[in-house]
Chains A and B, each alone.
Chain A
Amino acid sequence: MDHLGTRKQETKSSGLLAVYSEEDSSVLPEEKYHRLANSTIHDLLEKLEEYGDSVEIDGFDVDYGNEVLTLKLGSLGTYVINKQTPNRQIWMSSPVSGPARFDWDQTAQAWIYRRTKGDLVKVLETELEQLCGKSINLSST
């Protein structure tokens, strides 16, 4: 099997095995991806830290290391949000909805999980309100 390279490779079975080309205009260029993903994750980090100060959750902790955002909510569970650069995605693991993979949608200007059409930021807002009993605004101004 090839590693990430400049050829697009198709499979018969799942279509998930693909190698992205920098020249392919339908794929987010890596530099742009990093800018968008980093900005989204850093923004989340800030807002989640503030949220932590305003809610009474035992064991609340937000940690960011090695480009992985870990949000602990004590006994309510743990979120892990990270970049998955080869796929140009942001991956999230949620104690409510399980694993999800978000792609940048240029039209929506948002990270969208294709299977559910869920928006990363909105999913988090909804779930956190549900879990912690207090609403949170994670959308950028």
Chain B
Amino acid sequence: GRACLSHTEPRARDGRSGEEEEEEEEEGCYQLYPGHIPTSPLQKALLAAGSAFMALYDPYRHDMVAVLGETTGCLALPNLRDKMKHHPEGYRILQERPRIRLSTLDMAKLRGLPDGSLGREYIRFLEDNKVSPDTRMPPKFVDDEELAYVIQRYREVHDLMHTLLGMPTTILGEVVVKWFEAVQTGLPMCVLGAAFGPIHLSARNLQLLATELAPWAIRSGRNASCILNVYYEQRWEQSVASLREEIGIFPPP
């Protein structure tokens, strides 16, 4: 594996006068999807350790959280993919590969939906917290094209989780969502985020988290069916309350 991924043999140097071969041949051979960077097990381990450290050190490095998820998800992602395969709605999602992006969302229509509907509340969440679905990192280090989609879907659905759980994008809100996602997906990145995220919280928020929010998130996570098995794009008109009940998320405290 290493000889392919790392170009160690020197090439003939006659390319000096005119063209130069771009160095990415190896990756070109193994690139499974656009943006894919094939990595050796050692590189993945180093990336996992480095990104974990960096994500804690500088919480604004969202790309590090993403990298951590990709490099540690080798068990959880196939699990999630199988859950999707064995569910009719999840299976359809895997087939159709919908993407949640500003270009694919009809913002005007969603805004026009009644209050309390998923579409309206989702837009409200995006606007209140000043976030956009387009800021999600595309996967780079997942070595399977379908699993890359699964993690991409998980990232794009994250904002909808905020909407369904009623949590803002403050550190406390993010940690609560991470607890929920940790139980739901089993992704080590979520578990680590849930466990270490609270480091940055104030004492009051920490107490709130420990006594009310985290237990609720865990209970909901356990009770709910797999969140990736919901075709959200076809349910904008459905009310948040009814969707919550259908999935099994308890109302927020």
A and B from one assembly? no
Which B residues lie at the A interface, using CB under 8 A? none
Which A residues lie at the B interface, using CB under 8 A? none
